[in-house]
């Protein structure tokens, strides 16, 4: 990272352009941290998308009109373990109903 900064600073110096080192490092670290966070949470995002689609299909197949009824059914008959909780199933259904499949 320091090497990149020196190259940019030197190149800018040759054409009379100045760089703010604090801003440069802040932007560089921000981009790297965003990339790392996206990589870290990619599996969770895919899991949520898959579950939303699955739950919406169950809701449609069973003919539920309310997310609360669908969440109770899913928790009782489909995902019977401790995870996910009924509140989490309801949250995913609510987001999917609003068109948010991210």
CB atoms within 10 A of CB 88: 15
**Helix and strand element counts for the chain (H, E):** 4, 0
> How far, in Å, CA of 68 to CA of 93, rounded?
9
Rounded to 5 degrees, φ, ψ at 94 are -60, -45
Sketch the domain layout of the chain as residue ranges. Answer: 46-102
- Express each pLDDT in 17-71 by its tens digit: 555 667 777 888 899 999 999 999 999 999 999 999 999 999 999 999 999 999 9
> What is residue 87's predicted lDDT score, i.e. its pLDDT?
94
pTM of this structure: 0.67
Contact 94, 56 (CB under 8 A): no
């Amino acid at each position: 990272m320091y090497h990149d900064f020196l190259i940019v600073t030197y190149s800018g110096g040759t054409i009379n352009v100045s760089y703010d080192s604090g801003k440069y490092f802040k932007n560089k670290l921000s981009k790297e941290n965003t990339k790392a966070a996206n990589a870290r949470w990619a599996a969770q995002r895919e899991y949520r998308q898959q579950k939303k689609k699955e739950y919406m299909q169950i809701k449609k197949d069973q003919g539920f009109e309310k997310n609360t009824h669908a969440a109770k059914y899913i928790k009782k008959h489909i995902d019977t373990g401790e995870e996910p909780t009924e509140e989490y199933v309801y949250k995913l259904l609510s987001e999917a109903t609003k068109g948010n499949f991210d």
